[in-house]
Structure 1
């Protein structure tokens, strides 16, 4: 039905920065989910954690910090672009990205997504539920950002 509405000209989406903000929010959440899943979902993680001379709480914090740090590094250039082009959207972009990032780090730490290892096609530990929940949470934060950034968020339904 939505495809027919789009093809029939009944739906018109906003363009420009109104589309960029939710895409960046969604991307930040998915990158965080991927990075934390790589760190906690590998076959070697339990052995490395057991042999480390630090507490389990420190290992958890380190994995969460590293996942967040990688995501922030990758998202820095797009955020700088938004800062230069539409600085008025930063009060929405930054909290929404932070919400998506933190939510997906927590989800991915508890339910890492399944990943494929390059050697022998062996799958790492993970659950599809983590992927579904992560995509849902990223979508929620992206939708929230879109509603807050777009002047008339439901104006795309013309009838």
Structure 2
């Protein structure tokens, strides 16, 4: 950069536009260079050239560099399954008791049978055990064979 030709009291601003083309993603950079116009002094022993300062001002812009398209499709296939399942059967028996009791009996289990007391409050404020429910659970294992449809989703990615 050479010395200014005219002398003035103002500052001159030089905008330098720098574009980096190596990668398409770098935003343009503007360099503002301030040079005093009256900075060239001529003292008696020689010419004085001012020191120049550069200050970068970065601006950003969004640039579309490509597009991505994603599409999905579902593939179905049938698979044969052999397995064993547990099947539980519940049997409920009603056993009439018909007795007065002092306190309400709690549910209990005897020999794998769940016993649930059913009480009724009668007019004289006493508990009357009407019946007991005896609940028995029986489990069996059963083989099962089935054809099951499985679905698998695939994604295709296309860049442009």
Same fold by TM-score, threshold 0.5 exceeded? no
TM-score of the pair, normalised by structure 1? 0.22
In our comparison, the structure showing a higher alpha carbon Rg is 2
TM-score of the two chains, using structure 2 as the length reference: 0.21
Report 1 or 2 for greater relative contact order, CA contacts < 8 Å, sequence distance ≥ 6: 1
